[in-house]
Structure 1
Amino acid sequence: MTAPRFLSGQFRHAIDDYMACGWVLDTCFVVNPAVIPWRSRAVFAALGIRRYDLALALAEEELIAARTWGSPRGIGIALHAVGVARRDHTSVAVLEEAVALLAQGHARTEYMQALYDLGTTQIRRQDVTEGRRRLVEAAMVAYECRNGFWQERIRFALERLQAPANTSKLTRQEEKIAYLARAGHSNRHIAHMTCLTVRTVEFHLSSVYRKLSISGRRELVTALSSVPS
């Protein structure tokens, strides 16, 4: 379950969608997160708007519920969300456990996504060799599943590893403009919010696209998630 507004980068609205889903499930007495892991999905929307406190709270709540039911797939999905939400030295170990459980539960799509986040997390922690290996594993699963969206996303991550070190880091201004663009704001609106000219915004976005090895605004939704903060 992925909300359309999450895919389009409307993360605040996506959180509302997931919360509404949770409310409906509660009213129907559906409490097993393996049915619809809405909290885990909301975690990634919360991270998209840098609500790290909300992301971690949702992830930990999901993990408690998942462990109550004991499904490897459900626990793996919840651990994936926890590992990404923690953003600390424990993240790699948690994500490794998530990957193992999702493989055990034959959850191919979730396994691929957890491999991707494990790989990019390891790369951010300077374990490039192991991170690259995990990304290649994720790419193989994406190919086997014929998932073009994830094949493209993983390819971007691997290409960024080959980019010169001095071009891989966004400036603070570029990062701000990139996140505004990802949230769906037009160049003119971004210029108004940042007190810049439209031409300057366009210049910064062109630099962002070059540094992230992407072709345009649509790909910001996936590319920004693996940029070091």
Structure 2
Amino acid sequence: MSRSRPQVPFATRYARSGMVCSVDHLASEAGVSLLRAGGSAADAAVAASAVLAVTTQHMCGMGGDLWALVHHTDGEAPAALNASGRAGSGADPDGLRAEGRTRMRFRSDIRSVPIPGCVDGWVSLHERFGRAPLAEVLAPAIDLASGGFPLSPHGATATSLLDGVANSEDYSPQSQPGDLIARSGAGTALREIADGGREAYYEGDFGRDLIELGSGEYTAADLARSQADWVTPLST
């Protein structure tokens, strides 16, 4: 399998204690490396998800959400994690309807964006089921963000949609499959999470920037509250 041109839509890697399947072989490899080092399945899942937040964030990254269903071999009921972001306390659906809104603009209205739950999901999943230190779990993603990774064909297609949306130090609409992409900002955020947990992210530079960008949509109290809850899973 080429590192820059995966030939299958899902990349699966195996270790003696389990397997990891994701849309990116780099993420699958990160998960398997945690299993081989004695980490838990939760460690592997968080490691793979963190790599995807670097290499495949156009599908779901640190600005997105997370759900997890953890099964136990001893017959204990599965544990379900809902880390879907909540709207900021400044959200005003009645005001939006008064403006005549029937749907939210995808590109240009911050009011359609809830507080992202992904990082709280990582931290909650790791706190309850992880074995390896969080810094070790996030290390593969940090290395790829800092050292670079080959852009996938799917990622190159997604970056073409950036034209006219925003400036980016990481990508350009002209990025091609196989281009080496480094994401220093994502690497910095991941290192902060590894060192300081969720507070370093939600109450650090990211949180302050989101509050400023939201212009009243979000508050410091919104970001201090975890976006992740352990819930009762649906069953049949």
Is the structural similarity TM-score above 0.5? no
- TM-score where L is the length of structure 2: 0.28
Q: Which has the higher contact order (CA 8 A, sep 6+)?
A: 2
Higher helix residue share: 1
